[in-house]
């Protein structure tokens, strides 16, 4: 498996990142590619409309998703001037 999926995601943040931020309705957890990329791809693949207004996706491969959307960082859409 590629290091893109195996490595824990570096949050690059100056304060400690808790394992979860939560209240009685919502639980936010950091997106770690090795744990979450494949389930994300599997859940969104049948719903390409989720990506209608996004410059990325839909993704069919967790490795490609991890590299193009997470490790590479944000980038300008090729059709934007």
Count of alpha carbons within 13 Å of 10, Cβ hemisphere only?
Answer: 6
Q: Is the pTM of this model over 0.85?
A: no
Specify the residue for token string 């490795």: 63
Look at residue 75 and tell me whether its pLDDT is greater than 60: no
Dihedral sign from CA coordinates of 70, 72, 74, 80: negative
pLDDT in tens, 14-72: 667 677 889 999 998 888 888 888 999 999 999 999 989 987 888 899 888 887 776 66
Residue spans per domain, the chain: 3-71
């Amino acid at each position: 498996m590629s290091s893109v999926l195996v490595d824990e995601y570096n949050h690059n943040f100056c304060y400690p990142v808790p394992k979860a931020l939560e209240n009685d309705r919502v639980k936010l957890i950091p997106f770690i590619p090795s744990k979450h990329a494949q389930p994300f791809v599997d859940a969104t693949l049948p719903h390409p409309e989720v990506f209608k207004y996004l410059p990325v996706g839909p993704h069919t491969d967790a490795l490609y998703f991890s590299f193009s959307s997470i490790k590479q960082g944000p980038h300008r859409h090729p059709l934007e001037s």
